[in-house]
């Protein structure tokens, strides 16, 4: 789809909402073509938002006023520009959104990401939106301008507005702009059906449908450094947006009440205490006691993290295993909040995690590494220790957070004895999702 002079005017007119600012690091997903149709004012307005230059002459814009690429303009006027693509005649970085994973040094790198008609050509939509999430910096904006209706001969997908609002709810995005742009085009199925089908009545089928063409414009600002959480539409049927943020603990009983009594920080962020018995017990101070949800839709409407204080409770364990919201064993959470947790290895992922959420240092008081050369060094103010044998490790901690998936695979066998001794190993992504409510401000209870 690329950019036209109308697109440039849209970008310049909403530069704050769309994240356009001088010095922004721009990632173009797919080599975006630029067709200004001679509109020098539209191009100048776009450049003023990203690379203000009062000395820019009209002649400087002349080479770019007909057909060119966005990268040509960015390179000429000093905009920090990178393109992810799989083929093309312009300079690009090879990245296959169907298959590739984001490199560690590229995570959180880009302040502005343009998806101007690329994702509809990619079959693996999960990997696409996950990768974009990981590439975007906190505070950065992901701009999607994509097919909404029509475009019958273009790409694999048209996009529903619901997708972007659900992505925002799951991942802490702010929707900073949303609109649908109607286009004066009506399309029929004729050509694509005739080219790809052989049924006898193909002409009748092809002539029976026509639709107008429109595109959807959505800007999402990434406000939290949390792992990507994909939405599932079926669990949102009948669920009002905005009700799900916060912890829920259950079942109501001695274990749940002891957790709340022992950790006021946890109590301040708990929306409700669930009971699977009838009638419900007395309320735990200001925390309401409610019947536990019976469906996945009710679960997702009620909380963003589930704490299961008693693993023998079949109702809550069934909801937890569905993995619709992050859940954690109450004993594991107690160990984390008591400082009986550590992380490894000592490297960039651990440093970034602790730097972005300093409160995690309260709960991850130790950093281990199985490289003896790193023992005694410091990372984010914490002294790195040599990873001990399983018995010693189990004496020191109950929970081990492994920040690198590759490292976890490499030392899986080494960690198995720790597990057999009752230890818990969590991947960084799962740990951060579990802890996101504890790193947030206290939420009002409804």
| pLDDT, tens digit (0-9, with 9 covering 90-100), for 369-426 | 988 999 999 888 889 999 999 999 999 999 998 887 666 666 777 888 998 899 998 8
Q: What confidence tens digit (pLDDT) does each residue in 296-317 have?
A: 667 777 777 889 998 888 888 8
Tell me the H-state helices in 137-219. 161-171, 190-196, 202-207
Give yes or no: residues 33 and 137 share one domain. yes
Q: Which of 306, 335, 364 is the last residue of a domain?
A: 335
Residue 435: CB atoms within 10 Å? 24
Q: Are 357 and 439 in contact (CB under 8 A)?
A: yes
> Are the beta carbons of 12 and 41 closer than 8 angstroms?
no
Long-range contacts of 74-78 (CB under 8 A, 24+ apart): 74/26, 74/50, 77/47, 77/50, 77/51, 77/53, 78/51
- CATH of residue 98's domain is 3.40.50.150
Q: What pLDDT sits at residue 124?
A: 94
My answer on whether 19 and 116 are in the same domain is yes
pLDDT at position 284 over 60? no
Residues contacting 29, CB < 8 A, separation 6+: 83, 84, 97, 113, 114, 115, 116, 118, 119, 132
Element (H, E) at 399: strand 399-402
Same domain, 309 and 344: no
Q: How far apart are CA 190 and CA 135, in angstroms?
A: 39
* Cα–Cα distance for residue pair 111/126, rounded to 1 Å: 21
Higher pLDDT, 293 or 255: 255
Note whether residue 237 is domain-resident. no
Final residue belonging to a domain, choices 335, 366, 384:
335
Same domain, 80 and 118: yes
- Which residue, among 176, 168, 145, 177, has the nearest Cα to 241 in the 3D structure? 168
pLDDT at 83: 94
| One domain for residues 286 and 358 | no
Average pLDDT over residues 113-133: 94
Q: Are residues 318 and 361 in the same domain?
A: no
Residues 194 and 140: their CA atoms lie apart, in Å, by: 44
Q: What Å distances lie between residue 257 and 56, 143, 212, 267, 342, CA to CA?
A: 67, 45, 58, 10, 26
Dihedral pair phi/psi, residue 311, rounded to 5°: -70, -10
- Residues 308, 215 share a domain: no
Last-in-domain residue among 335, 359, 380: 335
Asked whether residue 42 is domain-assigned, the answer is yes
| Cis amide prior to 230 (ω within 30 degrees) | no
Length of the chain: 446
- What confidence tens digit (pLDDT) does each residue in 64-109 have? 888 899 999 999 898 999 999 988 778 888 999 999 999 999 999 9
Question: Are the C-beta atoms of residues 56 and 48 closer than 8 Å to each other?
Answer: no
Residue 242, domain member (yes or no): no
Indicate the pTM of the whole model: 0.55
Distance CA 113, CA 101 (A): 17
269 and 216 within one domain = no
For residue 293, what pLDDT is reported?
82
Sign of CA dihedral 121, 123, 126, 130: negative
Instruction: Round to whole Å and give the CA distance between 97 and 391.
Output: 43
Task: Report how far residue 304's alpha carbon sits from residue 324's, in angstroms, rounded to the nearest whole number.
Answer: 9
Tell me, yes or no, whether 44 and 184 share the same domain: yes
Q: What is the CATH number of the domain that holds 375?
A: 3.40.50.720
Residue 81 lies in a domain: yes
Number of domains into which the chain is organized: 3
> CA of 324: how far to CAs of 45, 127, 242, 302, 423, in Å?
44, 18, 16, 12, 24
Q: Are residues 61 and 176 in the same domain?
A: yes
Q: Which residues lie across from 214 on neighbouring strands?
A: 149, 182
Q: Degrees (nearest 5) of the Cα angle 10, 169, 292? A: 165
Contact present, 305 and 321 (Cβ < 8 Å): no
Instruction: Return the higher-pLDDT residue of 427 and 147.
Output: 147
Distances in whole angstroms, Cα of residue 394 to Cα of each of 131, 391, 399, 422: 36, 5, 9, 8
Residue 178 sits in which domain range?
Answer: 3-231
Cis peptide before 46 (omega within 30 of 0): no
Does residue 441 fall inside a structural domain?
no
282 has a pLDDT exceeding 70? no
Q: Bigger pLDDT: 310 or 151?
A: 310
Same domain? 305 vs 422: no
CATH of the domain at 252: 3.40.50
In a domain, 442, yes or no: no
Whether residue 121 has pLDDT greater than 90 = yes
Contact yes or no for 248/34 (Cβ under 8 A) = no
Q: Going by C-beta distance under 8 Å and a sequence separation of 6 or more, which residues neighbour residue 175?
A: 164, 165, 168, 218, 219, 220
Residues 292 and 413 in one domain: no
Asked if 332 contacts 305 with a C-beta cutoff of 8 angstroms, the reply is no
Q: Which of 81-90, 179-188, 250-259 has the weakest average pLDDT?
A: 179-188
321 inside domain: yes
Strand, helix or coil for residue 275: strand
pLDDT for 443 equals 34
Is 48 part of a structural domain of the chain? yes
Tell which residue, 226, 439, 425, 264, has the closest CA to residue 342: 425
Q: Which of 278, 277, 279, 287 is nearest to 257 (CA)?
A: 287
Percent of the chain exceeding pLDDT 70 equals 83
Average pLDDT of the chain? 82
Write out pLDDT tens, residues 323-348.
Answer: 667 788 899 999 998 889 998 888 88
């Amino acid at each position: 789809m690329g950019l036209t002079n109308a697109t440039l005017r849209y970008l310049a007119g909403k530069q704050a909402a769309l994240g356009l600012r001088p010095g922004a690091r721009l990632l173009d997903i797919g080599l975006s073509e630029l067709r200004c149709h001679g509109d020098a004012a539209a191009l100048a307005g776009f450049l003023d938002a990203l690379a203000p230059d009062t000395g820019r002459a009209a002649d400087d814009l002349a080479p770019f006023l007909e057909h060119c690429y966005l990268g040509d303009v960015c390179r000429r006027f000093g905009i920090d520009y990178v393109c992810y693509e799989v083929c093309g005649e312009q300079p690009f970085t090879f990245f296959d959104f169907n298959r590739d994973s984001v490199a560690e040094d590229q995570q959180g790198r880009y302040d502005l990401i343009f998806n101007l008609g690329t994702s509809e050509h990619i079959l693996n939509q999960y990997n696409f939106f996950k990768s974009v999430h990981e590439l975007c910096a906190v505070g950065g904006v992901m701009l999607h301008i994509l097919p909404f209706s029509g475009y019958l001969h273009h790409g694999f997908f048209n996009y529903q507005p619901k997708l972007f609002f659900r992505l925002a709810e799951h991942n802490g995005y702010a929707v900073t702009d949303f609109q649908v742009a109607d286009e004066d085009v009506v399309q029929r199925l004729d050509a694509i059906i005739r080219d790809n089908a052989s049924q006898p009545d193909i002409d009748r089928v092809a002539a029976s449908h026509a639709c107008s063409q429109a595109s959807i414009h959505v800007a999402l600002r990434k406000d939290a450094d949390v792992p990507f959480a994909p939405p599932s539409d079926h669990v949102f049927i009948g669920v009002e947006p905005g009700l799900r943020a916060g912890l829920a603990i259950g079942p109501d009983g001695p274990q749940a009440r002891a957790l709340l009594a022992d950790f006021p920080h946890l109590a301040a962020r708990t929306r409700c205490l669930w009971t699977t018995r009838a009638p419900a017990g007395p309320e735990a101070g200001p925390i309401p006691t409610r019947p536990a949800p019976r469906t996945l839709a009710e679960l997702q409407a009620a909380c963003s993290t589930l704490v299961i204080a008693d693993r023998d409770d079949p109702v809550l364990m069934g909801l937890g295993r569905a993995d619709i919201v992050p859940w954690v064993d109450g004993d594991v959470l107690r160990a984390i909040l008591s400082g009986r947790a550590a992380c490894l290895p000592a490297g960039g992922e651990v440093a970034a995690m602790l730097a972005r959420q300093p409160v995690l240092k309260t709960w991850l008081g130790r950093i281990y590494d199985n490289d003896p050369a790193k023992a005694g060094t410091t990372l984010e103010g914490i002294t790195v220790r040599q990873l001990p044998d399983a018995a010693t490790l189990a004496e020191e901690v109950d929970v081990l957070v492994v920040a690198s998936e590759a490292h976890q695979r490499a030392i899986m066998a080494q960690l198995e004895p720790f597990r057999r001794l009752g230890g818990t190993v969590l991947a960084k992504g799962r740990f951060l999702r579990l802890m996101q409510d504890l790193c947030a401000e206290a939420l009002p209870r409804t």
